[in-house]
Amino acid sequence: MTNAAAGTGRPLATGRRGAGGYGPMLGVLVLLAGWELAGQLLTEAFVLAAPSEVALYLVRDWQLMSRALGVTLGNAAAGFVIGNVAAVALAGVALLWPRSERVITGLALLVFCLPLVATGPILRVFFGPGPGPQIALAALAVYYTTLIPLLVGLRAAPDSWFDLVRSYGRGPMSALVHVRAMAALPYLFTGLQIAAPAAFLGAMVGEFTGAERGMGVLTVRAIRALDVEMTWGLATVATAVAILAYVGIGALARRVLLEAPPVILAAPAVATGRRLGGWIDTGLVILLALGGWAGAIWAFGLNPFFAKGPGDVLDALVFAPDAAATRATIGAALAESAVYLIPGYIAGLLAGAALAILLILVPAVASTAMPLAIALRSVPIVTTAPLIVLLLGRGAVGTIFLVAVMVFFPSFVACLQGLRQAPGQVMAVFDSYAAGPLARLVRVRIPAMLPAFFAAARMAVPASVLALTVAEWLATGSGIGSLMALSASLSDYDMLWSSVVLVSALSALGYVLVGAVERRVLAIYAPEQLA
Amino acid sequence: MAHDVTPPPEVVCTSLAKTFAGGTEAVRPIDLTFAAGRTTALVGPSGCGKSTLLRMVAGLENPSAGRIEIGGAPPRATLRRAGLSVAFQDPSLLPWRSVRGNIELALTLARRKAGASEIDQLIDLVGLDGFAETRPAELSGGMRQRAAIARALATRPGLLLLDEPFGAVDELTRRQLAQDLPRIWEARGTTTILVTHSVSEAVLLSDRVIVLSPRPAEIVADIPVDLPRPRPEDAARTEAAGALIDRVFAELSKGMAASNPPLAAQ
């Protein structure tokens, strides 16, 4: 779920050569030089390894690293395939039976909002030893980021194309083959491009939960041993894999597609004009989620000591003698997390928008900054979280910064593309009045950017929760992420499952609330997206 | 020729009406017969319901009342036999297919075959020679519309529905197409229904002009066009054509005045 801001972006925006073609290289060089300098200056602090030290480490331990990388890549690839096949199948069901779409996306959102920190240990108990949790988490990390753009893409054709098919007496199947499938391809690629690094992240989190081999295992080992070179070496390899996957799928898309898709603004699934229908669907989603949860425990005959059903969680939170204490513990942990989450989330969004606006006003910087931003949005949070906390400390600054970073890149990329999507004809009108860049920015570009900004804000809600819980789990030792990790290791499954339910529900609620604001914005600035 | 022309059907609309879900009445009950193998033009002010009428005939819009029979069968049966083609106001070309690819798609959808040379002839006919392998994004608006006309003709339909097909075409090409297209549909004996804003185009291309009132559409006048065929480029300047054009204008104006009385009269 790395930067699941999904929804943004041309998959093809990297690697353009030409007049500004050396911008990306310059950006990478500047980054490396800054990193090297900082690494050399902070040698005594044991928080940062310079690129030269990382390179030496990787050369020295390449066998260990390549073995681990092979294992994680295998798990990530299996999860990537399973998750994407599931996404395509779910999109197919939603297409064939439109009534089911909101229920499907609602359930998918709930599963997407499950905190990996907690689902990892639960899946480990469920699957036992072996690659099960790694593959399952990789699959869970990708299906949503593919499903949402794909659903948008399958509907991204004008009505007149379907009229054409119908005018020759052909039905939905011909429309699917000749129109929808092709129209959805750019969107599918956008989803896959975000999914590839996310699968790698999912596999690594799965490996944290007691796997024997893999990058995740090495990461835990490096953090515990405070091995700075190894930690930075792993982060570098993981980042390189994520960027290569992103760029590789982008290159494939360039070969297959005619042009990049527009910014994908999957209008929020919940709350449409049919208010009653919306409530019924929401109720159905909750019922199906609870039924599926209880049904899975029953069907797999899971041990009740570890597998807690909806009734158990209700009991733990409401009826049990220690329910008040459980609620107080979780409430305190959530409050502790919220203190970091909300400022980090808002700061990340605003910083992303601000930088995008700056780049529009000073376009020369864009050719350097844009490829870097696209690359960095692919960096697996699992490896960067401990490093950022290591650098900035366990206090508020480090955690807020981490959440902000997670939100910043998707917001930045979405806003930059939104700003660039200002309608050419309207800009021409402003040109004809010799309007300055500021007037054009305020009156045309920023309004044109708002839909992209809110799409990024919505998708960033679960992503920011993921960033926070991972940071709390691996580094800060406070908040709900730490509570879940602690509960898992102490086998306090009532506490663990209750925390999972509350975090998922709050995360989904946040997503829906931002979606409600987004719908109001779209109604004014992009009404066609709500049609 | 690689395949036969579908026999031209007669199109009969009986008490045909359309009111949209929101309550907007687009077409008042209309009784109208489009003769087999003839060209009928529908003219009327913008938004009067011409296109809605055409879409109902095409089976793309369900009537609220009344019925349509194409060759004695409902529109959907004609669609299934692929005996009908529509050239839409929006060219609706698939962007990932070339001009030729878009034409071939129509043949695939209609389950018909045509040789490469026949497709080339159609591409030449609409003035797109040299652009067969070009994708729509690289064509001008007028060129896209011409490609859409070629696509509509490719399946050799018995019934050809043209919804303002020359809207974005430049004047010179428009004149050329006005010469070439009637020759094709006359040779094939196609039943053609043409929706247009242009009164002179309606008179020059058709055998009959139906004038519709502002929305909701009602038939204001049914004017036969008895100009001899073929009609040369300067036919519009003849006295007979001029009189017909004046008459259509007059009927249009009457229709407009009836639904929008001048401000002074209100």
Q: DSSP states of B67-93 as a string? A: EEEETTB-HHHHHHTT-EEEE-SS---
Name the percent of chain A lying above pLDDT 90: 13
Under 8 Å between Cβ of A339 and A482: no
- Which residues on B lie below 8 Å from A182 (Cβ)? 94, 96
Task: Supply the pLDDT for residue A23.
Answer: 60
A385/A145: higher pLDDT: A145
Our CA-based measurement puts residue B1 at a distance from the nearest CA of chain A, in whole angstroms, of: 21
Task: Supply the pLDDT for residue A325.
Answer: 92
- Distance in angstroms (rounded) separating the CA atoms of residues B170 and B143: 9
Query: Among A138-152, A381-395, A437-451, B239-253, which stretch is predicted with the lowest mean pLDDT?
Result: A381-395
Assess whether the previous peptide bond of B230 is cis (omega < 30° from 0): yes
Task: Supply the pLDDT for residue B98.
Answer: 92
Task: Supply the pLDDT for residue A265.
Answer: 45
Flag whether pLDDT at A77 surpasses 90.
yes
- What DSSP state is assigned to residue B181? H
Question: For the segment A6-55, what is each residue's pLDDT rounded down to a tens digit?
Answer: 333 333 344 444 444 566 677 777 778 887 887 777 766 666 778 888 88
Identify the sign of the CA torsion B190, B196, B199, B200: negative
Name the percent of chain A lying above pLDDT 70: 85
Our CA-based measurement puts residue A171 at a distance from the nearest CA of chain B, in whole angstroms, of: 10
* B130 reaches A (C-beta below 8 A): no
Our CA-based measurement puts residue B109 at a distance from the nearest CA of chain A, in whole angstroms, of: 6
Span A139-165, average pLDDT: 85
Our CA-based measurement puts residue A168 at a distance from the nearest CA of chain B, in whole angstroms, of: 5
**Closest partner CB to A167 (pick from B79, B108, B137):** B79
B79, A258: Cβ pair inside 8 Å?
Answer: no
- Distance in angstroms (rounded) separating the CA atoms of residues A89 and B181: 46
- What DSSP state is assigned to residue B6? P
Which helix (H) or strand (E) segment holds residue B193: the answer is: strand B191-196
Task: Supply the pLDDT for residue A405.
Answer: 82
A167, B105: Cβ pair inside 8 Å?
Answer: no
Flag whether pLDDT at A372 surpasses 70.
no
Flag whether pLDDT at A273 surpasses 50.
no
- What DSSP state is assigned to residue A264? P
> Which is nearest to A136 in space by CA: A69, A227, A206?
A206
- Distance in angstroms (rounded) separating the CA atoms of residues B241 and B251: 15
For the sheet containing B39-43, what is the strand order?
B84-87, B159-163, B191-196, B39-43, B208-212, B219-224
> Which is nearest to B30 in space by CA: B73, B77, B63?
B63
Q: What is the pLDDT confidence band of residue A263, given thresholds at 50, 70 and 90? A: very low
Residue type (1 letter), A18: G
Task: List strand residue ranges (DSSP E) for B1-90, in order.
Answer: 11-19, 25-34, 39-43, 65-70, 84-87
Task: Supply the pLDDT for residue B222.
Answer: 93
> Which is nearest to A103 in space by CA: A95, A111, A94?
A94
Task: Supply the pLDDT for residue A75.
Answer: 94
First to last CA, chain B: 61
Q: Which positions ≥6 away from B58 have C-beta within 8 Å?
A: A167, B75, B79, B84, B86, B161
Flag whether pLDDT at A474 surpasses 90.
no
Flag whether pLDDT at A259 surpasses 90.
no
Question: Domain locations in chain A?
Answer: 57-530
Our CA-based measurement puts residue A169 at a distance from the nearest CA of chain B, in whole angstroms, of: 4
Task: Supply the pLDDT for residue A380.
Answer: 62
Task: Supply the pLDDT for residue A167.
Answer: 87
**Closest partner CB to B60 (pick from A163, A178, A179):** A163
Task: Supply the pLDDT for residue A375.
Answer: 59
Q: By CA distance, what is A158's nearest residue in B?
A: B92
Backbone angles phi, psi at A158, to 5 degrees: -65, 150
Q: Where in chain B is the domain with CATH 3.40.50.300?
A: 6-79+159-168+190-266
Domain B6-79+159-168+190-266 has CATH 3.30.450.70: no
**Closest partner CB to A174 (pick from B59, B81, B109):** B109
* B73 reaches A (C-beta below 8 A): no
| C-alpha distances out from residue A98 to A93, A95, A152, Å | 8, 5, 13
**Closest partner CB to B92 (pick from A160, A170, A182):** A160
Task: Supply the pLDDT for residue B18.
Answer: 92
Task: Supply the pLDDT for residue A18.
Answer: 43
Q: By CA distance, what is B101's nearest residue in A?
A: A178
- What DSSP state is assigned to residue A307? -
Task: Supply the pLDDT for residue A384.
Answer: 67
**Closest partner CB to B85 (pick from A167, A178, A259):** A167
> Which tokens hold the place of A116?
């990996």
Q: What is the pLDDT confidence band of residue A371, given thresholds at 50, 70 and 90? A: low
Under 8 Å between Cβ of A416 and A363: no
Q: Which residues of chain B register pLDDT less than 70?
A: 1-6, 80-82, 258-266
Question: For the segment A406-446, what is each residue's pLDDT rounded down to a tens digit?
Answer: 888 778 877 877 887 777 777 777 777 777 788 888 888 88
* A159 reaches B (C-beta below 8 A): no
Under 8 Å between Cβ of A148 and A161: no
* A163 reaches B (C-beta below 8 A): yes
At CA B255, angle to CA B251 and CA B261, rounded to 5? Answer: 130
- Distance in angstroms (rounded) separating the CA atoms of residues B163 and A344: 55
- Which residues on A lie below 8 Å from B59 (Cβ)? 166-167
* B23 reaches A (C-beta below 8 A): no
Task: Supply the pLDDT for residue B13.
Answer: 93
> Which tokens hold the place of A80?
């990537």
B109, A158: Cβ pair inside 8 Å?
Answer: no
Task: Supply the pLDDT for residue A529.
Answer: 59
